[in-house]
Amino acid sequence: MENQTQLSESYATNYEHYEHSVGVMMLHLEWVTKYRYRMFRKQEYLKLAEACIRKSAFEHKIKIIKLSVMPEHVHCVVQVALSISASKCLQVLKGRSSYLFFRYHEKARLRYPKGHLWSRGKFASSVGFTNLEIVSNYVSNQEEHHSLGNSTL
């Protein structure tokens, strides 16, 4: 009986409750800039890209658990509602953040005249509570990972 009480307490704290569903979907997402240009070498552009991604996530009720913007790609761990697919989540984050980035940094249109900041490629993987810490550490330590010459995409 005591074990069942602990289970119901963790059930109430770990999962999101929606109108007709209960659960959590966490995703590890990665995407790169078009042609892998190192658009975010400057700190101000890196921070602008991060702010644009965070704003687009907030507008669509996507909770960012961890975000790492590198000079030519992005890693993030997000939590989304069960009704949103991984593909839809990436579409929203890439599309809206690109729009906002060009809106606040008009000179970037010189490199991307058609307004496509991100490439068509993407990576998505589901994350559970057991490996959330491992994935979060991986996203946080991207500078170390890429200084060794490793490549993920």
Domain membership of residue 105 as a residue range: 23-147
pLDDT at 12 (0 to 100) = 54
Query: What average pLDDT does the chain have?
Result: 87
R_g of the chain computed on alpha carbons: 17
Say how far apart CA 127 and CA 129 lie, in whole Å.
Answer: 7
Domain-embedded: residue 98: yes
Domain-embedded: residue 153: no
Say how far apart CA 134 and CA 32 lie, in whole Å.
Answer: 22
Q: Is 133 helix (H, G, I), strand (E, B) or coil?
A: helix
Say how far apart CA 51 and CA 54 lie, in whole Å.
Answer: 5
Q: Residue 149 — pLDDT band, cuts 50, 70, 90?
A: low
Report pTM.
Answer: 0.83
Question: What six digits make up the tokens of 146?
Answer: 């890429």
Q: Between residues 152 and 43, which one has the greater pLDDT?
A: 43
Q: Residue 110 — pLDDT band, cuts 50, 70, 90?
A: confident
Give the CATH number, domain containing residue 37.
3.30.70.1290
CA distance from start to end of the chain: 48
